[in-house]
Amino acid sequence: MKIEAIIVVAIINGIFSLIAIAMPFIANRNQDKRGTKQAIRSLLYSDLENRCLRYIQQGFITAKDFKLLVEDWDCYHNKLKGNGYLDELVAQVKGLPIQH
C-alpha cells in the first residue's frame, strides 16, 4: 500500500473517531434543549394561568395587558406546543371588557 493510501485511511479513521466521540455530546446538548423548552413552557403556563384567572376574577382587562397576554399565549401555544387548557381560559379573557 502506498503512503498516500495509508494517510487517507488514517485521516478517514480519525474523522470517524472524532464523530464517535462527539455523538454523545451532541445527544446531550439536544436533550438539554428539550429540557429547557419544557421548563420554559411550564413557567409560561403557570404565568398565563395566573394572569387569566386574575383577569377573569376582576371582570375586565386593559388593552396593554390583553396585547401582552395574547402574545405570550401565542408563544406558549404555537411555538412551544402547549396544551389546550389555556385555550379555554384565554377564550374567557377575550370575552372580557377591555379598559383603555
Listed in sequence order, the residues at least 6 apart from 48 whose beta carbon sits closer than 8 Å to its beta carbon are: 69, 72, 73, 76, 86, 89, 90
Query: pTM of the full predicted structure?
Result: 0.67
pLDDT at residue 100 in the model: 83
Separation in Å, CA 70 to CA 3, 21, 78, 92, 95: 66, 45, 11, 12, 13
In this model, does residue 38 exceed pLDDT 70?
yes
Please write the tens of the pLDDT for every residue from 61-91. Answer: 999 999 999 999 999 988 888 878 889 999 9
Residues of the chain above pLDDT 70, percent: 69
How far is residue 96's CA from residue 90's CA, in Å, rounded to a whole number? Answer: 10
Over range 4-32, report the average pLDDT. 65
In this model, does residue 57 exceed pLDDT 70?
yes
Task: Name the one residue in this structure whose C-alpha cell is 377591555.
Answer: 98
pLDDT at residue 68 in the model: 92
